[in-house]
Amino acid sequence: MIRTLERRDRNAIENIVRATGNFSDAEVAIACELVDICLDKPEQTDYYTFVATDDATDHVAGFLIVGPTPATTGTYDMYWIASHPEFYGRGVSQSLDRKAAEFVSERGGYLLIAETSSQPSYERTRAFYTKQGYDVVSRIADYYKPGDDLIVYGKRVGQSLKVKS
């Protein structure tokens, strides 16, 4: 089941980010900061957090943070999408990605952007985006550090943007 973030989910989300083994302490802190913003300022409209729970246990299996990209009309950033390694292969991240696409489409959005690293430890992440229908829209060499490129993925959702002639 996918539902809106609740305060009781915060520690589980931090555990998920740590359990993936891909993120530094600084990156874990960033994820927690965004979750805290959603919990402490529910009126804000920059970030929206959803969790996927295991139907049998109600444990948080994954989470998603998505929000409108500033200074755009219809573009949204997928700031975080992750599932706990114990739930890999069970469709958790695919369900969260579908939720992201629905969320964007329901708000009249049309483009969902996700960023990731070129490091070998992110191969699973890159394969996930490709499998979900994302295209590589840009790559910036040495973005995170020398030898670690930023790869930006994009996917059109909902109605296509009509270009006026």
What are the sequence ranges of the domains in the chain? 2-156
Q: Backbone dihedral region of 146: left (phi > 0), alpha (psi from -120 to 50 degrees) or beta?
A: beta
Q: Please report the pLDDT score of residue 159 as a whole number.
A: 54
In a structure prediction context, what are the per-residue pLDDT tens digits for the chain, which is 165 residues long?
999 999 999 999 999 999 999 999 999 999 999 999 999 999 999 999 999 999 888 899 999 999 999 999 999 999 999 999 999 999 999 999 999 999 999 999 999 999 999 999 999 999 999 999 999 999 999 999 999 999 999 999 975 444 444
Q: Please report the pLDDT score of residue 119 as a whole number.
A: 95
pTM, two decimal places: 0.92
Alpha helices in the chain (DSSP H): 10-19, 25-40, 92-106, 123-131
Q: Please report the pLDDT score of residue 58 as a whole number.
A: 84
Quick one: 2-156 is in which CATH superfamily? Gcn5-related N-acetyltransferase (GNAT) (3.40.630.30)
H or E stretch covering 129: helix 123-131
* Amino acid letter for position 124: R
Q: Please report the pLDDT score of residue 160 as a whole number.
A: 46
